Structure 1
């Protein structure tokens, strides 16, 4: 579900990708509608860098992101599989296995809106 990023969303994106200057996808020229796909596809060098950036988030921001994921508001469809595995492991460590399992199911059920 595409959304317009809130001030909180933009703040989270700036925390994990401080080099983000514009909220515009360089490929499609469309305004970002989620946090994690741009982080994975435009700012992170690899899965380890993606995880390093996710670990910068305070618990409250991670909980917020997970709520958005579980409600379908935060897209996971365009995140590479090798990035989602460490993300789910981090969610498991910080928020518990049950929540991580729900996030993984959301990923498995998602599609990248080309």
Structure 2
């Protein structure tokens, strides 16, 4: 029987670990506020994809900087419903899935695909 994951992303305050990962992916990130909405960031991947990456190649380059431990952490947060992918362009989701497949395992990639496909759309 397949494992069920909580796929509805809940707003969260970024932890120190989240902020460190966000700063690693987007060193130019001056503060943790979305310039479009004025709200604080509640996830790591959407601001990197939508605010700091110039295109999907830039996004791939940025997420490739992550260690396997950091990739596992982000994957775990996605599967718990605490890291949003609903706002990511499909090509950025695909890049993340390929990276997870190559660096962690095909199982990690499959779980993230399942979470993405059953998740909610962009709400934050």
TM-score in terms of structure 1 length: 0.97
- Please name the residue that 2:52 is paired with: 43
Equivalent pairs, count: 114
CA–CA separation in structure 2 for the residues paired with 1:109 and 1:80 = 16
CA–CA separation in structure 2 for the residues paired with 1:16 and 1:53 = 5
Gaps of 5+ in 2: 1-9
Equivalent of 1:105 in 105, 114, 119: 114
CA–CA separation in structure 2 for the residues paired with 1:64 and 1:89 = 16
RMSD: 0.8
User: Which SS does the other structure have where 1:14 is aligned?
Assistant: helix
Which protein is bigger by CA-based radius of gyration? 2
Gaps of 5+ in 1: none
CA–CA separation in structure 2 for the residues paired with 1:65 and 1:87 = 10
Equivalent of 1:89 in 78, 83, 98: 98
- Please name the residue that 2:33 is paired with: 24
TM-score in terms of structure 2 length: 0.89
Q: Which has the higher helix share?
A: 1
Larger relative contact order, structure 1 or 2 (CA cutoff 8 Å, min sep 6): 2
CA–CA separation in structure 2 for the residues paired with 1:11 and 1:21 = 13
Equivalent of 2:79 in 70, 73, 82: 70
CA–CA separation in structure 1 for the residues paired with 2:76 and 2:70 = 10
CA–CA separation in structure 2 for the residues paired with 1:107 and 1:5 = 21
